Amino acid sequence: MAKIKSLADLQKMKADVQNKVDLREKGDAVDKLVQVKVSMATCGIASGAKQIMEFFMDELDKRNIGAVVTQTGCMGYCYAEPTIEVTLPGQEPVVYGYVDQSKADDIIEKYIKNGELVDGIIPQNYETIDDKK
Amino acid sequence: MKDISLHILDIAQNSISAKASVIAINITDSINQNIYSVEIIDNGKGIPSEMMPTITDPWTTSRITRKVGLGIPLFKQNAELTGGHFSIESEVGIGTQLKATFIKDNIDCLPQGDIQGVLLMLVFSNTEIDFSYTFTTDKGEYTFDTNEIKQVLEGVSILQPEIKKYLKEMLAENIKELY
Ligand SMILES: Nc1ncnc2c1ncn2[C@@H]1O[C@H](COP(=O)(O)OP(=O)(O)OP(=O)(O)O)[C@@H](O)[C@H]1O
Ligand SMILES: [Mg+2]
């Protein structure tokens, strides 16, 4: 039987990863990362926010985009869940509503990669969603 | 909510909103005892005692964006529908402890859903929080503790794709051993 993965093996693996990371991280200062916040209150979760969050986490990695994906409480747009807030480096946050997988894909390809706006923006009064609740 | 994992995600968001730095989630899945129970313990800011008597009532919320809070009432309702229990205790400045027990063979018992996916999502989207997950079944027990993991990693980010993949497999394999 194959041996089960444990913390001891994680330790061995760490050194390898460490070397790769040093290379990769040169271009990855935190203020250069894209930030994606997914609204994860009851209303968001009930409308599929978990899948959207997973999609962003997996796809941004796969497409090699330096990004931080986090979850946040309610943004107050229950009617438009799932909602997400995207902040490109050095820019104001933009909130998108009714984000399904195909919209999420558009947001990555058009907005995050090229800065083109995508439909479905919810106008915001420039406070970030963490300040609300 | 269509499964228990989504309730966990929802209740954990309450702990995150309450600025918890440590969140423990203990899951017991026992065929012998016929229960599936979820306990969520945080060290967040706690719930004011005047809110506690009505905390499981949908009109109780501190949110300002909507007048009802649904997370706790829905979790309680779904546990009790199976003939199970629900309890919540909280102390301001100390934290909150909540437990829902589902009766497994009841027709209203929700499926567990993508528990592993949800638990990892919490870890990867809240890297500053320490999560400790304990799984107990009739066959044994396993604990996945991000504080221990971070010590092993010695500063290498838990978000490195190779590490994420490893942790996902580690969690899956160890849980599989319990069944
Ligand atoms: N772990 C916790 N720590 C501190 N306060 C909490 C915690 N869990 C819940 N509360 C308080 O109880 C209230 C009700 O929680 P509940 O999850 O039922 O609804 P909500 O979070 O307000 O809204 P919803 O879950 O519908 O998005 C919250 O607004 C918050 O004030
Ligand atoms: Mg809630």
Q: What are the Cα distances from residue B101, in Å, to B18, B38, B107?
A: 23, 6, 14
Mutate to test the pocket of ligand 1, among B19, B49, B51, B61 (most ligand atoms within 8 A of CB): B61
Report yes or no: A1 at the B interface, CB cutoff 8 Å.
no
Tell me whether residues A4 and B74 touch, CB distance under 8 A.
Answer: no
Mean pLDDT score, B78-104: 97
User: Residue A22's pLDDT is what?
Assistant: 62
Give the tens place of pLDDT for each residue, A72-108: 988 778 888 899 999 999 999 999 999 999 999 999 9
- Residue B86, φ and ψ in degrees, nearest 5: -145, 135
Give the tens place of pLDDT for each residue, A23-67: 555 555 667 889 999 999 898 999 999 999 999 999 999 999 989
Q: Report residue A123 as tokens.
A: 């106008």
Closest CB to B152 among A4, A7, A76 = A7
User: Residue B66's pLDDT is what?
Assistant: 60
Query: In angstroms, how far is the first alpha carbon of chain A from the final one?
Result: 50
For residue B72, the CA-to-ligand 1 centroid distance in Å is: 7
CA distance A26 to A39: 31
Q: What is the mean pLDDT of chain A?
A: 85
Give the tens place of pLDDT for each residue, A80-89: 889 999 999 9
Mean pLDDT score, B2-30: 97
User: Residue A133's pLDDT is what?
Assistant: 45
Ligand 1 atom closest to Cα of residue A73: 27
Q: Which residue of A has its CA nearest to B61?
A: A133
Q: Band of the pLDDT at A126, cuts 50, 70, 90? A: very low
